[in-house]
Structure 1
Amino acid sequence: MAVAKYLGTLLGLYAVGSQAQQGPYFVLGSGMPLVIERADPVLNPGSALSSHVHSVVGGNGFAITMNFAQAQKSTCATVSPKADKSNYWMPNLYYHDPRNGSFIRVPEQPYHKIYYKYGNGNNQYDTDITEFPQEFRMVAGSNTARSYNYTTMGPYGSELGWSCHGDSSHPDFYTTGIPTGFTACPGGLAAAITFPSCWNGKAFDVNNPSAHVAYPVADGLQGCPVGYRVARFPQIFIEYWLNTQTFNGLYGANDKPFVLSNGDPTGYGFHAVFINGWDVGVLKSIMPTCRPGNTGTPPLSDSSCFGNHGGLFTQQQMDACRQQPTTSENVGWKFGQNDNPVGNVLTYGGVVGNKLPGCNPIQAGPGPATVQNC
């Protein structure tokens, strides 16, 4: 199913899928990940190893046990506003070499984008939208999905989508799962997903991680489904950008060489996790005035945005913000590694062997995957 209207372009511009998501927004540019490892303090709290590898961005307060106080310990971040000490993470992508069966981490582009939307269909600030509670956390998408599900992915759902961006010699591909039929993505391969933004007032339940939130169906708090009108938050939309250039010529148009770290070769199991670390009061203060969108005018450093709330980290500071993994497991990334070392020359991600890290056999579906415990 084509979902071109849901996906970001190479410049980060995207068409919004519903009236409930129109209006003012800002974009948090992000450099390379803070850390890449099998950690997930939301879905696997207190465990040094989650079932699969994640790419983590955000504040360096990230830890295998997380609460708001831990997030506030961040001293740097891979996103620019100093007031945002939150963390965001998603499964890594690996190249499954059709020649020898080995798995190689796909290098990431240094411009993942995190959109915060808080407007309405009249291009105005939606005054019903409030900031997140201190201990708030949520998940977008499903780790076990292996086929399209209109209820969770369609309009007023996660708007999950993948895009292979071409050039004058290569066509663009826009699909809900990982696209096929291409031999190169010179403009980048990207996954995109939207988080829910309506809340029922209840705490996160690790055994039912989506029960406390829902997607809006229209503007305002009344645009949230019945039972989820305790609060409405900014809608977070994430673009996860990857570089497949170094694999050109190693696979054909009929191959399906890319697989997520959870053993998903379809892309339907792409998901993202958010844990709130925003300084209290900042989002509430800036949402009525901060509206640079993709134009960068005014910049996020402006007083209408974060100028009076700690300002921004420089690109150099974001690039230097890295965290040592909690284990020495080979996930195809080493502490401090940069996928874009010099002159935008990209390298292979690390080879991890003939199986994915953890216990993640390839499960193509179309039925839901079996959850792995390891």
Structure 2
Amino acid sequence: MYWGPLLLVASAVMRGAGAAQLRFSCAQLVVDRLDPIVNPGELPSPHLHQIVGGNAFNASMDHNAHDISTESTCSSCVFTEDRSNYWTAVLFFRARNGTYKRVETVGNGLGYQKSNGGQTVYYLSSGKVTAFKPGFRMTVGNPAYRTKADAQKNPALQFTCLQSSTTRTGYRFDFPTELCKAGIMVTVRFPTCWDGQNVDSPDHQSHVAYPVNRNCPSTHPVKIPEVFYETYWDTRPFNDKALWPADGSQPFVWSFADSTGYGNHGDYVFGWQGDALQRALDANCQSDLLSDKVNCPTLKQQTIPESNKCTVKRRVKEDLDGWLKVLPGVMA
């Protein structure tokens, strides 16, 4: 089941005492063709990503080498001790003439309108959970998926056609086919059970698992916080059907040439400083789910305009702003 902000209010009551709900804005750090988890060291990586978080993000982030939280000097997230990195693929619009235009992200309409794009990040818990260890990373979803059956393996990787900033109905696994007045929201939710030993695995997924009947399986007995993204893609500039394909089909495509949307996926590298995340979880910190207010005295915060200032230069030099004949990294 997908838990959006409005449903999370009710879920907090169901979870009861010992439930942390951290919801916060992370502005866009950079849009670049790098992927230090799946394609470490490759410059460029096969497809484009939009990244938020700590400014230590780079093509090579070896989990055996160092704690990335010690290398960042700023964070594009409002919690300054969060130097983690969170990233997704990039959305493009394909016009009737076959050219592509990159879709920008915008701040979440529920409280984070001042954010320079990026995404809203959640850390959720029910009862005692164990924060991630230095070097921890994971992915969810699969860019090779092209069927609904594939996509349903990860039921919380979904799309919402926003008729307003508060729309939280009509979730689907593929791209919306109708005009979305306020843009398209994409959600990514990660597993909440860990094997307790490995901070990574060869496929970057096997060391974590989803619970079964709310319980962690014996192979992954350690409860970890639920990491959850919401990204608002500003498709409003493309709400002219004269630009859409002549057959009326939906015009959006992921940066890895997926026009179905079923390849929706996300990547995460843990980078909270010291025990900051564990402190926040143990303190059952709560966010106002409809605004930018967070009740978490144990964490250091900055304003959204301050978080907007944390950016890094794009490493791969290529045109990402004009109308493109081919997607970056994708063969014509």
Query: Normalised by the size of structure 1, how large is the TM-score?
Result: 0.75
Counterpart among 262, 265, 270 of residue 268 in structure 1: 262
Task: State the alpha-carbon separation in 1 of the partners of residues 182 and 7 from structure 2.
Answer: 15
Name the SS of the counterpart of 1:149 in structure 2.
helix
| 1:251 is aligned to 2:244 | yes
| 1:320 is aligned to 2:317 | no
Look up the match of 1:69.
Answer: 67
What is the CA deviation profile of residues 236-288 of structure 1, one whole-angstrom value per residue up to 9, with x for unaligned ones? 11111111111121227932200000111111101100001011212221213
Cα displacement (A) at 1:298: 10
Counterpart among 194, 217, 225 of residue 217 in structure 2: 225
Cα displacement (A) at 1:228: 0.9
What is the CA deviation profile of residues 261-320 of structure 1, one whole-angstrom value per residue up to 9, with x for unaligned ones? 0111111101100001011212221213234244479943x4xx2x334x1122222111
Unaligned 5+ segments in structure 1 are 120-125, 333-349, 362-374
Q: Is the 8 A contact 1:7 1:163 kept in 2?
A: no
Counterpart among 302, 318, 325 of residue 354 in structure 1: 325
Specify the code of the residue in structure 1 equivalent to 2:271. Answer: G
Counterpart among 174, 181, 201 of residue 205 in structure 1: 201
Look up the match of 1:26.
Answer: 22
Task: State the alpha-carbon separation in 2 of the partners of residues 159 and 103 from structure 1.
Answer: 28
Look up the match of 1:48.
Answer: 43
| 1:165 is aligned to 2:165 | no
Look up the match of 2:174.
Answer: 177
Specify the code of the residue in structure 2 equivalent to 1:166. Answer: Q
Range with bigger deviation, 100-109 or 251-260: 251-260
- The change in CA–CA distance for 1:178 and 1:86 in structure 2 (over 3 A counts) is same
Specify the code of the residue in structure 2 equivalent to 1:316. Answer: P
Q: Is the 8 A contact 1:103 1:353 kept in 2?
A: yes
Q: Is the 8 A contact 1:166 1:172 kept in 2?
A: no
Task: State the alpha-carbon separation in 2 of the partners of residues 203 and 292 from structure 1.
Answer: 27
Look up the match of 2:228.
Answer: 237
Range with bigger deviation, 288-297 or 40-49: 288-297
Specify the code of the residue in structure 2 equivalent to 1:146. Answer: R
- The change in CA–CA distance for 1:37 and 1:176 in structure 2 (over 3 A counts) is same
Please tell me the root mean square deviation across aligned C-alpha atoms, in Å.
2.7
Q: Is the 8 A contact 1:77 1:85 kept in 2?
A: yes
- The change in CA–CA distance for 1:14 and 1:38 in structure 2 (over 3 A counts) is farther
Identity, % of aligned pairs? 29
Task: State the alpha-carbon separation in 2 of the partners of residues 149 and 178 from structure 1.
Answer: 15
Task: State the alpha-carbon separation in 2 of the partners of residues 292 and 109 from structure 1.
Answer: 24
Q: Is the 8 A contact 2:182 2:235 kept in 1?
A: no
Task: State the alpha-carbon separation in 1 of the partners of residues 92 and 172 from structure 2.
Answer: 19
Task: State the alpha-carbon separation in 1 of the partners of residues 69 and 331 from structure 2.
Answer: 29
Cα displacement (A) at 1:27: 0.3
Counterpart among 211, 219, 235 of residue 216 in structure 1: 211
Q: Is the 8 A contact 1:7 1:161 kept in 2?
A: no
Task: State the alpha-carbon separation in 2 of the partners of residues 37 and 327 from structure 1.
Answer: 6
Q: Is the 8 A contact 1:158 1:196 kept in 2?
A: no
Q: Is the 8 A contact 1:141 1:158 kept in 2?
A: no
- The change in CA–CA distance for 1:82 and 1:159 in structure 2 (over 3 A counts) is same
Q: Is the 8 A contact 1:165 1:186 kept in 2?
A: yes
Look up the match of 2:112.
Answer: none
Specify the code of the residue in structure 2 equivalent to 1:278. Answer: W
| 1:118 is aligned to 2:110 | no
Cα displacement (A) at 1:173: 4.3
- The change in CA–CA distance for 1:7 and 1:192 in structure 2 (over 3 A counts) is farther
Q: Is the 8 A contact 1:6 1:17 kept in 2?
A: no
Task: State the alpha-carbon separation in 1 of the partners of residues 286 and 133 from structure 2.
Answer: 25
Look up the match of 1:89.
Answer: 87
Look up the match of 2:113.
Answer: none
Counterpart among 101, 104, 116 of residue 107 in structure 1: 104
Look up the match of 1:138.
Answer: 138
Unaligned 5+ segments in structure 2 are 109-118
What is the CA deviation profile of residues 303-346 of structure 1, one whole-angstrom value per residue up to 9, with x for unaligned ones? xx2x334x11222221111110112122x2xxxxxxxxxxxxxx
Query: Normalised by the size of structure 2, how large is the TM-score?
Result: 0.84
Task: State the alpha-carbon separation in 1 of the partners of residues 326 and 317 from structure 2.
Answer: 17
Q: Is the 8 A contact 1:7 1:192 kept in 2?
A: no
What is the CA deviation profile of residues 120-147 of structure 1, one whole-angstrom value per residue up to 9, with x for unaligned ones? xxxxxx11x1110111000011111111
- The change in CA–CA distance for 1:295 and 1:107 in structure 2 (over 3 A counts) is closer
Specify the code of the residue in structure 2 equivalent to 1:354. Answer: K
Q: Is the 8 A contact 2:279 2:298 kept in 1?
A: no
Specify the code of the residue in structure 1 equivalent to 2:251. Answer: P
